[in-house]
């Protein structure tokens, strides 16, 4: 059966960095919803155009559009053995949709690593990233708003996956290499 990994963590926890490293280490493609949105918008796919109509109105793209993008991506040949999901699901409704989607393709989630980092450490990381990369959205006020949204919308997923016995906490305050080592070990143990 294919291995699907749902990588979780608050903004600034290092999900994107770790997902790229995991892709190399375990040989599964990283499926990032951010990348999917950018690709669908850039290529003006039917889903991208649909997403754009919501974004133009300043609205969040509905779950069914996001789920359709993920479903399309997971149907690609490089995802036949599974994938590392980065940035999806973000809500319990999306998690339930993902379960249904995977059941339809005879797949299931093997593990949900949660890169856990103290909120104040995250705020400082993102402020520093903003200074280095010149990102206007990495200022303290915006960061704290993003943390609040994360707590309200995404944190309930931790309980959802913990209840199913899939959640594994990873200390995200270690070095990038140590976090990667812990992630790879936990995924290999889940697959065994």
Query: What is the model's pLDDT at position 33?
Result: 87
Tell me which residues are annotated as active site: 15, 90, 129, 135, 146
CA distance 117 to 3: 25
First to last CA, the chain: 12
pTM of the model: 0.91
CA distance 150 to 93: 15
Query: What is the model's pLDDT at position 2?
Result: 86
Query: What is the model's pLDDT at position 180?
Result: 98
* Residue-number span of the structural domain to which 120 is assigned: 3-191
Q: List the CATH number of the domain containing 115.
A: 3.40.50.300
Q: Is 29 strand, coil or helix?
A: coil
The series of mean pLDDT values per 10 residues for the chain, 192 residues long, is 92 93 95 90 92 82 91 94 93 94 92 96 91 81 88 91 97 97 95 74
Q: Quick one: tokens of 105?
A: 């393709």
- Give the chain's largest Cα–Cα span: 47
User: How many folded domains does the chain comprise?
Assistant: 1
Nearest Cα to Cα of residue 189 among 172, 174, 168: 168
Query: What is the model's pLDDT at position 37?
Result: 87
Nearest Cα to Cα of residue 62 among 46, 71, 50, 44: 50
């Amino acid at each position: 059966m294919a291995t699907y990994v749902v990588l979780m963590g608050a903004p600034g926890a290092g999900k994107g960095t770790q997902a790229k490293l995991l892709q190399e280490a375990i040989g599964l493609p990283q499926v990032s919803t951010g990348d999917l949105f950018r690709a669908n918008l850039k290529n003006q796919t039917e889903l991208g155009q649909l997403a754009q109509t919501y974004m133009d109105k300043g609205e969040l793209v509905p779950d069914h559009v996001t789920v359709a993008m993920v479903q399309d991506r997971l149907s690609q040949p490089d995802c036949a053995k599974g994938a590392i999901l980065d940035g999806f699901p973000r809500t319990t409704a999306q998690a339930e949709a993902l379960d249904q989607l995977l059941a339809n393709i005879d797949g299931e989630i093997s593990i949900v690593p949660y890169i856990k980092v103290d909120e104040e450490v995250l705020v400082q990381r993102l402020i520093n990233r903003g200074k280095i990369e010149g990102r206007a959205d990495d200022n303290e006020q915006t960061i704290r708003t993003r943390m609040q949204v994360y707590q309200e919308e995404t944190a309930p997923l931790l309980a959802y996956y913990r209840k199913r016995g899939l959640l594994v906490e990873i200390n995200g305050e270690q070095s990038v290499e140590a976090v990667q080592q812990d992630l790879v070990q936990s995924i290999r143990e889940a697959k065994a």
